[in-house]
Amino acid sequence: MWDRAIKQTVPGSAGVMPGKNAMPMSGQPVPGPHDELPAMERASVAELRAALGGGAIRARDLVRACLDRIDALDRTGPNLRAVIELNPDAVAIAGELDAELANGHSRGPLHGIPVLLKDNIATADQMQTTAGSLALAGVEVSRDAFVTARLRAAGAVILGKTNLSEWANIRSPRSTSGWSGRGGQTVNPHQLDRNPSGSSSGSAVAVAAGYAPLAIGTETNGSIIAPANACGIVGIKPTVGLTSRVGVIPISHSQDTVGPMARSVADAAALLTVIAGVDPEDPAHGGPGGSGEFPTTEVEGYGQPDYLAALDRDGLRGARIGVPRALFGFSRAADAITDRALAFMREAGAEIVDPVDLQAAPEIDWDDELAVMLTELKPGLAAWLAGFAPSCPISSLADIIRFNENHPREEMPFFRQEYFHRAEETGGLDDPAYLASLARNQRRSRQGGLDKVIEEHRLDALVAPTGAPAPKLDLINGDWHPGGSGGLSALAGYPIVTVPAGFAFGMPVNISFMGTAYSEATLIRLAYAYEQASCAFAPPSFLAGSVLPPALV
């Protein structure tokens, strides 16, 4: 069993990619370590919670089963490298939660349920919070992130931290998704030489592989929905402001958001119900642009909507769904799967408006987005370091740049830090050029984009392919991105629910339900109805790397 404290490895070593001794599972499920537990690769939160509540299983046995599965798959077997660190207190915490249940006290739908957190989310415990960078290794944070605190209060067991694209993939345009100096290279569980996508790579892989039923990811543009697509799971990118970013190592306060990753819409809805909530410390808690539209319908004990109430198997009936063809065209396979999904929705009673003219799509200047992210990065990192790691010798982006330059073998064996240098040169949050870019981004994506087309056509949601099937990993040249449909929603700060829709050559392909600010309940209702009828999720097979895609191996 690999050490549950962090094992620091040299990123250029065999640990970065599956080595010659990796043992693919040849398409066979990994045996469950505890026969009395539901199979970890398929068990739902509701099933686990019912078993816990009825006394059929204990939370500490569930946690041990998760730890055993991680032990079998993450540093041995297929060598997925999705987990960067395990919580040494997880079993003890689970035992305390077992005692509460035995005394008749339940904290809610996540009581005793293991959850993995992306390693840019602060936990004031024995684990580290590093964004995958060795620059922050060993640094203690002063307090939990807001979402961490909500999970603890809800009785979730924080099992560990997941690997990610280092610094949430904002260091270099030539990076490889899923690689970090601290964690090495996470790989796709469907075929081990394919890209897990990023930056919430480890969270997506861990959920798909059955390490835990739930994980938390973060997104600035694509970092929840893209790995969910690559690994064939459900991801929810919430409206900016629905979930607090306080305590999360930032990129952009205009676009960053925290969301659930799970194997089903119901599981993701349960997690969103817990982590959503007004946080006065987060300036976005009033909604995109400070609109003050935060949902007011409360579920007892949490203070935000009960997203489980949105689950409706007949939820597609009568819905008006628009098809923005401007967001198609990057993958013939993804387009075909999406068209089949749309036909399925029509049969389920939805009215499909195809096409709708999303005029903003070709007008977006993605250089504006990069300008906003890089300008917001420098002060955001400094504020996080001062507020959550005050004893850290690293206190600024300039310090991080110097650390990487002083440790090139560990931190820059494959790509460098061009974006960091550009961010260091930015002029600050009162720079007129930055403010103009931010205004253009929001005007084109909101009033001139998603809000406009949804209002004009009286739509409940837009549907488009989330992304292409995962390409090959390439640490030499960096990522190749065939394309995706989430950019406008990212710029607007609006929600997306991505759900499995099928497979192309053995690799998963998702579709995305997109809406306006705080339309999560509607999107969950539609995605759940589609998911329940289509049953498109399938656990991965851990196939060895090959020139041929999985379906032809």
Point out the residues that are catalytic.
118, 199, 223
Pairing of strands 351-353, 257-262: unpaired
Residue identified by tokens 């319908």 is 297
Task: Quote the CA–CA distance of 322 and 477 in Å, as a whole number.
Answer: 37
CB atoms inside a 10 Å sphere around CB 328: 18
Instruction: Enter the tokens of residue 225.
Output: 């929905």
- Is 355 in a helix, a strand, or coil? coil
Q: 186: which 2 tokens?
A: 């996470």
- CB hemisphere CA count around 415 (13 angstroms): 25
Cβ atoms < 10 Å from Cβ of 340? 14
The first and second tokens of residue 90, run together, are: 């997880």
Question: Locate tokens 């990619």: which residue?
Answer: 17
HEC-encoded secondary structure of 181-200:
CCCEECCCCCECCECCCCCC
Closest CA to 218 of 241, 230, 236: 236
Query: Do the beta carbons of residue 16 and residue 185 sit within 8 Å?
Result: yes
Which residues share a beta bridge with 398?
A: none
Task: Tally helices (H) and strands (E) across the chain.
Answer: 18, 13
Write out the two tokens for 361: 């799509």
- What residues contact 174, with CB distance under 8 A and at least 6 apart? 415, 416, 418, 477, 478
Instruction: Evaluate whether 551 touches 543 at the Cβ level (below 8 Å).
Output: no
